[in-house]
Each structure stands twice: as C-alpha cells, then as structure tokens.
Amino acid sequence: MFETLLSPIELGSLKLKNRIIFAPTSMGLPEDEYFKKIEDIAAGGCAMIIIGDVPVLPTSFGHSLYSKKGFAHYQKLTEIVHRHGCLICAQLHQSDSNLKGMIKYIPGVLSKKIKPQELRPLLNAQVAPYISNLTVKKIKKITTAFGDSAVLVQKAGFDMVQVHGDRMCGSFSSAVFNQRTDAYGGSAENRFRFAVEAVSAIRAKLPDYPIDYKLAVRQEEPHYGNAGVLNEELGIFVPLLEKAGVTSFHVALANHSNLQDTIPGAKHPYFSEEGCFLKFCDQVRQYTSLPICGVGGLVHPEFVEQQLKEGRIQCAAMSRQLVADSQWVNKVAAGEADKIHLCIRCNKRCLGGMMEHKGVHCIYDRK
C-alpha cells in the first residue's frame, strides 16, 4: 500500500532506504535529552535526520565544528544515528543576526519586559542594515567557510550537507533585506551570488559529496516570508544552484516572519491544509529534474504516499509528526498505520515550547 514511501531513493551519491526525512529542528533541549530524542527518531525508521543550524564559522554560541567539544558533539550525533541504520545530514548556515545590535535587548529580555515572541521582529528589523553593510572581505570569509565547515562535517561522519537557504543565504537573496549596490545586490543574479558562492565553496572542497539546498520561497498576494526568493525568480536561481553543485532541493516557505507561518498550525488562515507548502515544490519543479523534498504539515501516510507516487515530490520531510510519534515509519512498514499518534498541529508544546524557551515537546509526551 505504501510502496513508494518505503522505497529507496538516491540523492546524489547517497542512497536513502525510504523517502521519509526528519526536517531540521531547533529542539532547545539539554544535551542528554536531545541525544535521546534524536536516537528515538533514528530508531523509528526514517531514512535521514537533518541536524539544523550548524554554524560555518567558529562561534562561542552553541556547538562549533572548530572546537574539540563542539566537534565531539556532532561526532556523537552521527554515531547515534548510524547505530540505527539511519543517515544524517548537517544543515550549514551563517546567522544574519547582528550580535552587537542584540545587546541592547538583553536587559528587556532578562527583566521580561520583552517577551520571546516580541524579540523576533526586533531582530529581523536589523537584518537589512546588517547584511547590506557587510564588507566584501567579510562576505568572502563566510562563503569560503561553507567549504571549510563541510570538510569538518564529513570528517565528523555526516553523510550529506544541506545549505540553509534562509538565514544569511536567504537574506542576501531577498530584495526585502538586500539593499546593497555592489556585486552582491540589485539584480536577482547579484542577490543570489552569496548562496551560489557558498555552494561552490563546498563543491570545490568535496567534489563528490551530496549537497542539498533548503530553498526558501517568498510569497506575495498574500505576503508570507521575507527572506528567500519569489516564484518569478526561481527560473534564475535554481539553474545557478545546479551549476554550482547542488544535488537535491528541500523546498519550504521563506522565514524571517512569524514562526506561526513557517510552522503553521491547523487553524492557520492560509496554510491550514496538509501539504501546505507543496505548491512551492511545484514551482521549483518547472526548473529542475533533481530530487525535491517537500514539507508542510505532512501527517497521514496515505497523503504522503500519493504525493510521492505522483512524482510531485521525491522525499517527504517531517518535524512535528516525528516528534509526536518517532515510530511513524516503522508503524507504516508493519501495517500498523492506524496506531500512529497523528500530529494535530496544535503547536502547543512544540512551537509553544520553542517560543517559551522550554524545548520542543509534544502533547503526547507523558511528562
């Protein structure tokens, strides 16, 4: 019944055992709890887990590939995931947050005068001046670092790399944020230069390594998302990424707006339906024959199978559903789809937990 869903597929030189991928998710959990959650998902039967927001430059925030402790963290993740016959991908990114500009908000956050949901718009407001004023020397340092960090990712045991098309790649690509007048701004080709150079840097260092690109699509009429590219710009951007070395695409709505839009609940005014972002995959498909992974409230095995069988997408990525029931794939394979704890997209303890800095959990969790 679920022949396509459970069938293998090749992404570049990599072969996945089925079509289900755990989408990159910032869990916000203590390390031991995070490792346990990742292991549960890997053991649940999905083909690959994408570890989100792996910084390409050395950093004192989070886990750095360049430090002994940070590298060991990523190495342990690969060991845990591989233990269960699952593949693992590192999502490389460079933050477009102005760290110096963030300092002025710290007192308000600590005193709780600025609520977590109020901080995001304040930080987004600084993106345009920050990236528009980066020196070319700094830009080159960052794009080169995508290649250097990819080498470290491979050494840590990751099977694949994904370039985060939001964050700095997305803000450079977007006319909403990019106000530069040099070779990195103005025309679509110029705005896409940062992302293309990042991909090219990886390909130069790793000629045969599979490179996925999280392609963030900005929508107008109605407006959703601020980073990323417009539908009419995909015909320029997608071929440039292919030429640079991308081997597959992971397509979603552009970020840098309300998290309730990029992680929409069941009552969202526009993205309430299952597969709500798959229309962006349809748009990308016009310009590439490479595998496309779709996201957007995917829950029911029957629905996912139909999208895969029709060739609309080649892989399906889930986050909330696999947090709700890590055994989703195993239950489908065992003919027990009726026993799946289906995500109802309430966003209470997943997105809610993220925004309240309590970590990503689910209403199905016992604790």
Q: Which of 49-63, 110-124, 333-347 has the lowest mean pLDDT?
A: 110-124
Q: At what angle do helices 234-244 and 278-285 cross, to 10 degrees?
A: 70
pLDDT (mean) for 298-309: 98
Would you state the pLDDT for residue 365? 87
Would you state the pLDDT for residue 259? 87
Strands 315-318 and 9-11, bridge-based pairing: unpaired
Residue 361 lies in a domain: no
* Other Cβ atoms closer than 10 A to 99: 11
How far apart (Å, rounded) are the C-alpha atoms in residues 308 and 19?
A: 8
Would you state the pLDDT for residue 120? 63
Residue 362 lies in a domain: no
Residue 363 lies in a domain: no
Residue 227 lies in a domain: yes
Q: Which residue is catalytic, options 19, 120, 167, 203?
A: 167
pLDDT of residue 152 exceeding 90: yes
* Other Cβ atoms closer than 10 A to 49: 26
pLDDT (mean) for 285-312: 98
Runs of H (alpha helix) within the chain: 31-43, 68-82, 99-102, 106-110, 116-124, 127-132, 136-155, 167-173, 188-191, 193-205, 234-244, 259-262, 278-285, 301-309, 320-324, 328-333, 351-355
- Residue-range definition of the domain harbouring residue 123: 9-355
Contact assessment for residue 166 and residue 255, using Cβ atoms and an 8 Å cutoff: yes
Percent of the chain with pLDDT over 90: 85
Structure tokens at 280: 């962006």
Segment 123-137, tens digit of pLDDT: 777 899 999 999 999
Contact assessment for residue 314 and residue 292, using Cβ atoms and an 8 Å cutoff: yes
Segment 173-218, tens digit of pLDDT: 999 999 999 999 999 999 999 999 999 999 999 999 999 999 999 9
Would you state the pLDDT for residue 61? 83
pLDDT (mean) for 258-284: 96
Residue 360 lies in a domain: no
CATH number at residue 154: 3.20.20.70
Contact assessment for residue 365 and residue 324, using Cβ atoms and an 8 Å cutoff: no
Find, among 296, 303, 248, 309, the residue nearest to 7 by Cα: 309
Contact assessment for residue 218 and residue 254, using Cβ atoms and an 8 Å cutoff: yes
More confident residue, 365 or 70: 70
Find, among 267, 226, 6, 21, the residue nearest to 128 by Cα: 226
Residue 365 lies in a domain: no
pLDDT band of 254, cuts 50, 70, 90: very high
Segment 220-236, tens digit of pLDDT: 999 999 999 999 999 99
pLDDT (mean) for 16-22: 98
Give the predicted TM-score (pTM) of the model: 0.95
How far apart (Å, rounded) are the C-alpha atoms in residues 235 and 237?
A: 6
How far apart (Å, rounded) are the C-alpha atoms in residues 242 and 195?
A: 12
pLDDT of residue 90 exceeding 60: yes
pLDDT (mean) for 318-336: 98
Residue 21 lies in a domain: yes
Percent of the chain with pLDDT over 70: 93
Runs of H (alpha helix) within 225-340: 234-244, 259-262, 278-285, 301-309, 320-324, 328-333
167 flagged as catalytic = yes
Residue 142 lies in a domain: yes
The three-state DSSP-derived secondary structure of 301-317 is HHHHHHHHHCCCCCEEE
pLDDT of residue 112 exceeding 90: no
Number of domains in the chain: 1
Would you state the pLDDT for residue 366? 65
Segment 24-53, tens digit of pLDDT: 998 999 999 999 999 999 999 999 999 999
